[in-house]
Amino acid sequence: MRSHRLPLIIFISVLLLLLLSLWPAQAFAETFVKKQFNTLEQEVRSQGTLQEIAKTLSELNHFYEWPKEMSQQLRLYTGIVWFNQNHLTEATTVILATQPDEKYHDLWVYYQAMICLVADHVAKAKPHIEELEKKHGRDVDFLLLKSIYMAQSDNVIGAISIMDNVIRKQKQNGDAYLQRGFFHMMALSHDLAIRDFAKAAKYQPATEIVKKQQALFQNGLLYIRYKFNEAKGMELIKEGVALDPSSEMVKQMKEALRF
């Protein structure tokens, strides 16, 4: 998702922080940055946060001498932004160097686990998964994470079972349908994958453009490659392209299909 509001927030943040370097009002500065943290915490959890924010966040640490707790929060958010933009090297460097306080510890562990899974270091993810399960074993966010871990541990059936349970409780959870669709693909259950990707596209919020594109593109490719229905497949792919023609995913899709 390309947010048009957030760059303005960051731009204002930088200006104010530069002014604060001339006016040492630390109490005001801390209040201001905490408000920005609240905004950023919501933004960085979305899939499509702008890449430029990460660079700006890194720079914010140098504009003002924040208390250690706030500096570590800022560092953690920077790493999350890098991760959400698929810059795994930068995300790993920043997140592993972070020492957040107890309030943000579980979020820190969560993203360490995600980094391990994306890098296909399944064994390294295991202790993080086990730590999170003790406190968050029933949380949907954790179950989504655990299902990825199980799928990468060659237990696709177990991963599908976890998503089945989530969907029984939350019948309009677009993320769960999206993940289960990928698991069905791994299990070569293409008809079930098509069904899940269709529901994923339907139930994702309008703001989750990247996830909608992902579901539409996967379904389009399945129709072309496994249902031999090129017309339907291209219709779905073009629907995804229309959501955000400038996205990186669209560029890759156009290159693959040459249209």
Domains in the chain: ranges and CATH: 55-80+89-136 (no CATH), 155-259 (1.25.40.10)
Cβ–Cβ < 8 Å for 50, 2: yes
As a dihedral over the C-alpha atoms of residue 119, residue 43, residue 61, residue 55, rounded to 10 degrees, the angle is 60
The one-letter amino acid at 182? F
Residue 250 pLDDT greater than 50, yes or no: yes
The percent of residues above 70 in pLDDT, for the chain, comes to 70
Residue 48 pLDDT greater than 70, yes or no: no
Over residues 64-107, the pLDDT tens digits come to: 444 555 667 777 877 877 776 667 788 888 888 888 778 788 88
Lowest mean pLDDT among 29-33, 86-90, 147-151: 29-33
pLDDT at residue 202 in the model = 94
pLDDT at residue 14 in the model = 39
Burial of 106 (0-12, 13-18, 19+ CB in 10 A): middle
pLDDT at residue 246 in the model = 80
Over residues 201-235, the pLDDT tens digits come to: 999 888 788 889 889 999 999 999 899 999 999 99
Which of these, 1, 31, 38, lies nearest to 16 by C-alpha position?
A: 31
pLDDT at residue 63 in the model = 46
Considering only residues 197 and 41, tell me which one the structure prediction assigns the higher pLDDT: 197
Considering only residues 166 and 248, tell me which one the structure prediction assigns the higher pLDDT: 166
Cβ–Cβ < 8 Å for 163, 179: yes
pLDDT at residue 56 in the model = 54
Determine the distance from the C-alpha atom of residue 178 to the mean position of all C-alpha atoms in its chain, rounded to a whole number.
13
Considering only residues 178 and 107, tell me which one the structure prediction assigns the higher pLDDT: 178
Which residues, 6+ apart, have CB-to-CB distance to 255 below 8 Å? Answer: none
Over residues 101-145, the pLDDT tens digits come to: 787 888 888 888 988 888 888 899 999 999 989 888 888 888 888
Where does 23-152 have alpha helices with state H? 26-44, 52-63, 68-84, 88-96, 102-118, 122-136, 140-152
Lowest mean pLDDT among 12-21, 27-36, 72-81, 160-169: 12-21
